[in-house]
Amino acid sequence: MKFKTIFFLFNGIILFSFLFIALMPLFVLGGEYTLIFWGENWFLAVIFLLFISVLDTYFIINWKMFSLLEKEDWPGLTAYLEQQIYDKKRITHRNVRMMVNTSLTVSNLDKISRLEKEIREKKYDWLSRYGTMLGIPYLLSQNYKEGKDFFQECLNKAKPGDTPWLQWCYAFILISNQELEDAFPYLKTLGSSVKDPVLQMLSLYLQDSTKAGSEKADEMNSLKEDFLKRFPDKKSLERILNKTRSNNITVLLLSSILDDSLKWMYGEADA
């Protein structure tokens, strides 16, 4: 259904509902009591007008964005977001997330790097919050030194809720640069204490790739056995996997690692 159709249909339904409520006292109580009723409850009409005005204003202000989304005009949407962020200085949470997603859709990592610089200059407190998204160019490139510096900076400023995935990304960069011993402490912490089962599985998988000593390997195998008790097969993990894929763009881009970790956790026969 087209965006314009949804907009006018929504307004029509809201208006019809209001008229129904407004005229119902007339049919039930009669004209005289209807005037008394609305004389005492006039604020309901004001609330309705405010409600519909706020919603319509939101849709009208974002009309161009919704139209571009409807047409799947990703280059046009990217240009629109660049205008909002860089020209009009509207660095909002929605614009940041959409800018990263559309940049990936048009396969232009430089636009994410530019966004990182803008946030660093104008919204530095947001750098850690969006670190896993803004760090995607480092994860996909082979510029390990800058990637290490970026994720280390994010970790130094991160709030507790943002730390686990930033630690995993940092460990991934370290492993990609063959710094296995440096990566191990982060993966060990994530594998033993993190609550997110997908992140735990990815951490255990990368931990296994570090080829740790036998004592460390025994500890990891114990954690793997505990994980399999909670999620005995991939089907039991499916809902969480789907949610992670839809909410975490980093996991979606590194889906091959997620697939490999599933094979490692459940064995080739289950893959």
Tokens of 56: 């319509």
Instruction: Write the DSSP string, 151-208.
Output: HHHHHHH--GGGHHHHHHHHHHHHHHTT-HHHHHHHHHHHHHH-S-HHHHHHHHHHHH
pLDDT band (50, 70, 90) for residue 24: confident
Burial category of 157 from C-beta neighbours within 10 Å (exposed 0-12, middle 13-18, buried 19 and up): middle
Q: How confident is the model at residue 130 (pLDDT cuts 50, 70, 90)?
A: very high
Q: Which pTM was predicted?
A: 0.80
Give the pLDDT confidence of 134-177 residue by residue, as tens digits: 999 999 987 889 999 999 999 999 999 999 999 999 999 999 99
What pLDDT does 34 receive? 72
Question: What pLDDT digit, counting tens, does each position of 110-119 carry?
Answer: 999 999 999 9
In angstroms, the CA 138 to CA 257 distance is: 16
Give me the pLDDT at residue 186, please: 93
Model confidence at 271, pLDDT cuts 50, 70, 90, reads very low
pLDDT value of position 212: 55
User: Is the pLDDT score of 76 beyond 90?
Assistant: yes
Residue written as tokens 């025994």?
218
